[in-house]
C-alpha cells in the first residue's frame, strides 16, 4: 500500500510538472512585439487583426518568399540579393507564429489560413500579382494560395515542398513532440545546441557551417511567447486532411518550378516526382547531394534556376 502511494505521488508530481512548468516558462517569455523592435531591416503591416513582419529588397516585378515550418525570413538571406540583382522586388514574409510576426493563441494554423495571410499581405502592400518562391511547408501554403487566388499568382518556385500526405520522414524527436504534455515539456529544451544540431542534420546535412550568428538569430524567434504553441499545433496536424494538397495541385495551371534535393532528409525526393505529375505545367529539377534547405546550401544553382524560370 505504501509503495502504491509513493508511486502515485511520483506520477502525480510528474503530471503536475509536465503541465504547469511549460505554462510558467511560456508566461516568462517576451511578447514578439518587444523583440521585434530590436531587429534591423524589419517592416510590419497589420493584417487579419495581427502584426505581420517582412523584409524587402530590390525593385521591379514583385516576388513573395514564403518560408517553411519553424523557419522565418532568415531562410532567404541568400535568395533576396539574387532576386534584387535580377530586377525583382522581393518580399520575404514571416507567417504568423513564426519569426517576428505575431504568434496568436487559439488560431488554426493551416494552409487555408496562411494562404489568406499571403492574400491580405499582398493587398496591404498593394501588390496585385506576384511570383511566389516557397520552401517546405511554405510550398503547401503557396499552392493553396494559387488555388484560392489564381489571378494573384503568376509563377511559382517550390523548394523541398510539402503538400502530400505522409510527407515527413520518421524522426524520434519529432515523434515524441507530438504527444500532449510530453511535447510541451520537451520543447522547453530547445536550446541553442539543439537548434544547431537540427539545422545541421535536417536542413543542410552538414554541407555548410551553421554559424553562431545564425543560431542566435533563429533562437530569438523561438523564445518569444506563442512560438511553442504554433510549433506543436502545426507538427501535430501535418498529416491532417487539410495538408493534403493533391486536389489543389491538379487544378493549378500556373507555371511551376519544383526544386528538390536528392538527399533531402525531411521530404523524400519521390514526393517531388509525384508533384511533377500532378502539377500539369511544372518542371522538376533535382539538385545532386542537395539537402532540405537548398536555398542555403546550393544558393547559386537555386538562384539561377529561379531567375531563369521567372525570366522566361
Mapping DSSP to helix (H, G, I), strand (E, B) and coil, where does residue 285 land? strand
Report residue 60's pLDDT band, with 50, 70 and 90 as the boundaries. Answer: very high
What is the predicted pLDDT for the residue at 239?
A: 79
Global confidence as pTM: 0.89
What is the predicted pLDDT for the residue at 176?
A: 57
User: Is the per-residue pLDDT at 22 higher than 60?
Assistant: no
Q: DSSP string covering 196-245, please? A: HHHIIIIISTTSS---HHHHHHHHHHHTSTTHHHHHHHHHTTTTSGGG--
Best CA proximity match to 99, nearest among 159, 164, 41, 23: 41
- DSSP-assigned letter for residue 291: -
**Mean per-residue pLDDT for 212-226?**
85
What is the predicted pLDDT for the residue at 4?
A: 59
Least confident of 18-22, 59-63, 115-119: 18-22
Report residue 187's pLDDT band, with 50, 70 and 90 as the boundaries. Answer: low
What is the predicted pLDDT for the residue at 173?
A: 56
What is the predicted pLDDT for the residue at 9?
A: 64
Best CA proximity match to 111, nearest among 214, 246, 1, 11: 246
What is the predicted pLDDT for the residue at 19?
A: 54
How many C-alpha atoms does 101 have within 13 Å on its Cβ side?
31
Best CA proximity match to 112, nearest among 258, 237, 253, 282: 237
What is the predicted pLDDT for the residue at 225?
A: 84
Average pLDDT value for the chain: 88
Task: Go through 181-217 and write b for each residue having 16 or more CB atoms within 10 A of its CB, e for each that does not.
Answer: eebbbbbeebeeeebbebbbebbbbebbebeeebbeb
**Mean per-residue pLDDT for 11-16?**
58
The domain covering 31-311 belongs, at the CATH homologous superfamily level, to Alpha/Beta hydrolase fold, catalytic domain (3.40.50.1820)
**Mean per-residue pLDDT for 283-310?**
97
What does the domain layout of the chain look like in residue ranges?
31-311
Report residue 190's pLDDT band, with 50, 70 and 90 as the boundaries. Answer: low
Mapping DSSP to helix (H, G, I), strand (E, B) and coil, where does residue 163 land? coil
User: Is the per-residue pLDDT at 20 higher than 60?
Assistant: no
Q: Give the H/E segment covering residue 13.
A: helix 2-28
Q: DSSP string covering 36-83, please? A: HTT-SS-EEEEETTEEEEEEEE--SEEEEEE--TT--GGGGTTTHHHH
* Number of helical H runs and strand E runs in the chain: 14, 8
User: Is the per-residue pLDDT at 278 higher than 80?
Assistant: yes
What is the predicted pLDDT for the residue at 29?
A: 81
Least confident of 13-17, 48-52, 56-60, 114-118: 13-17
Compute the Cα dihedral for 46, 47, 52, 58 and give only its sign. negative
Report residue 62's pLDDT band, with 50, 70 and 90 as the boundaries. Answer: very high
Least confident of 70-74, 169-173, 192-196, 258-262: 169-173
**Mean per-residue pLDDT for 171-175?**
57
**Mean per-residue pLDDT for 50-55?**
98
Q: What is the pLDDT of residues 158-172, one digit of tens each?
A: 999 999 986 666 555
**Mean per-residue pLDDT for 306-310?**
98
What is the predicted pLDDT for the residue at 196?
A: 81
**Mean per-residue pLDDT for 25-50?**
88
* Residues 6 or more apart in contact with residue 42 via CB below 8 angstroms: 36, 53, 54, 55, 100
What is the predicted pLDDT for the residue at 188?
A: 64
Best CA proximity match to 140, nearest among 120, 166, 160, 117: 160
What is the predicted pLDDT for the residue at 170?
A: 58
Amino acid at each position: 500500500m505504501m509503495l502504491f502511494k509513493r508511486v502515485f505521488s511520483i506520477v502525480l508530481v510528474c503530471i503536475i510538472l509536465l503541465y504547469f512548468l511549460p505554462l510558467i516558462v511560456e508566461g516568462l517569455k517576451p511578447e514578439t512585439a518587444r523583440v521585434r523592435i530590436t531587429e534591423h531591416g524589419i517592416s510590419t503591416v497589420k493584417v487579419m487583426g495581427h502584426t505581420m513582419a517582412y523584409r524587402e529588397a530590390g525593385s521591379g516585378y514583385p516576388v513573395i518568399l514564403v518560408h517553411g515550418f519553424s523557419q522565418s525570413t532568415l531562410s532567404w538571406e541568400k535568395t533576396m540579393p539574387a532576386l534584387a540583382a535580377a530586377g525583382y522586388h522581393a518580399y520575404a514574409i514571416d507567417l504568423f507564429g513564426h519569426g517576428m510576426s505575431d504568434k496568436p493563441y487559439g488560431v488554426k494554423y493551416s494552409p487555408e489560413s496562411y494562404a489568406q495571410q499571403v492574400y491580405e499581405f499582398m493587398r496591404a502592400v498593394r501588390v496585385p500579382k506576384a511570383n511566389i518562391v516557397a520552401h517546405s511547408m511554405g510550398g503547401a501554403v503557396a499552392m493553396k494560395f494559387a488555388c484560392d487566388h489564381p489571378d494573384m499568382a503568376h509563377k511559382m518556385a517550390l523548394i523541398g515542398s510539402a503538400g502530400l500526405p505522409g510527407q515527413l520522414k520518421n524522426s524520434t524527436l519529432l515523434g515524441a513532440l507530438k504527444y500532449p504534455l510530453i511535447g510541451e515539456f520537451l520543447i522547453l529544451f530547445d536550446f541553442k545546441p539543439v537548434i544547431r544540431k537540427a539545422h545541421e542534420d535536417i536542413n543542410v546535412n552538414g554541407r555548410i557551417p551553421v554559424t553562431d550568428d545564425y543560431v542566435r538569430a533563429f533562437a530569438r524567434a523561438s523564445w518569444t511567447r506563442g512560438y511553442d504553441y504554433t510549433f506543436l499545433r502545426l507538427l501535430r496536424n501535418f498529416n491532417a486532411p487539410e495538408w493534403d494538397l493533391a486536389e489543389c495541385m491538379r487544378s493549378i495551371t500556373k507555371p511551376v518550378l519544383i526544386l528538390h534535393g536528392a538527399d533531402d532528409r525531411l521530404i523524400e525526393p519521390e514526393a517531388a516526382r509525384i508533384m511533377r505529375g500532378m502539377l500539369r505545367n511544372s518542371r522538376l529539377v533535382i539538385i545532386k547531394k542537395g539537402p532540405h534547405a537548398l536555398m542555403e546550401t546550393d544558393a547559386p544553382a537555386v538562384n539561377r534556376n529561379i531567375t531563369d524560370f521567372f525570366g522566361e
